[in-house]
């Protein structure tokens, strides 16, 4: 029987928990690890098949900001404050040039 009691939110980990898929595993089924429509995060940012969704992501951001009555600059400042912490969740350092798909 499923309980309707809300679970306590577990604290965020303090160690890396986002890993790049090993090349050997990716080779077995590349489609399983490649986004088809939208990229969230940096691993596939810049992939030539994904730019059409970038415009949609901008629209969704604007809708989110409107719904929360927040200005873009405020939102970006808030995200900038979280950037250092967010980067720690990746097992490997995030280097823009290394991760851009050519």
- Model confidence pLDDT, tens digit, residues 73-96: 999 999 999 988 888 888 888 775
| H helix runs in 1-102, sequence order | 23-28, 51-67, 72-87, 96-99
- Does residue 40 register a pLDDT over 70? yes
State the Cα–Cα distance between residues 80 and 51, nearest whole angstrom.
23
Which residues span the domain enclosing 48? 23-94
pLDDT band at 1; cut points 50, 70, 90: low
The reply to whether 102 falls in a domain is no
State the Cα–Cα distance between residues 43 and 98, nearest whole angstrom.
9
The reply to whether 35 falls in a domain is yes
Higher pLDDT, 53 or 79: 79
Across residues 12-19, what is the average pLDDT?
Answer: 77
Tally of CA atoms within 13 A in the half-sphere of 23 that contains its CB: 0
Total domains present in the chain: 1
- Does residue 67 register a pLDDT over 90? yes
The reply to whether 15 falls in a domain is no
99, 45 contact by CB (below 8 A): yes
The reply to whether 59 falls in a domain is yes
The reply to whether 12 falls in a domain is no
The reply to whether 13 falls in a domain is no
The reply to whether 63 falls in a domain is yes
The reply to whether 34 falls in a domain is yes
Structure tokens at 81: 């404050």
Across residues 29-54, what is the average pLDDT?
Answer: 79
């Amino acid at each position: 029987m499923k309980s309707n009691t809300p679970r306590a939110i577990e604290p965020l980990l303090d160690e890396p928990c986002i890993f790049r898929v090993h090349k050997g595993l990716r080779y077995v089924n590349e489609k399983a690890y490649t986004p088809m429509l939208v990229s969230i995060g940096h691993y596939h940012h810049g992939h030539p098949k994904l730019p059409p969704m970038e415009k949609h992501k901008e629209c969704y951001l604007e809708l989110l900001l409107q719904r929360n009555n927040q200005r873009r600059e405020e939102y970006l400042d808030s995200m900038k404050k979280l950037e250092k912490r967010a980067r720690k969740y990746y097992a490997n350092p995030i280097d823009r040039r290394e991760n851009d798909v050519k």
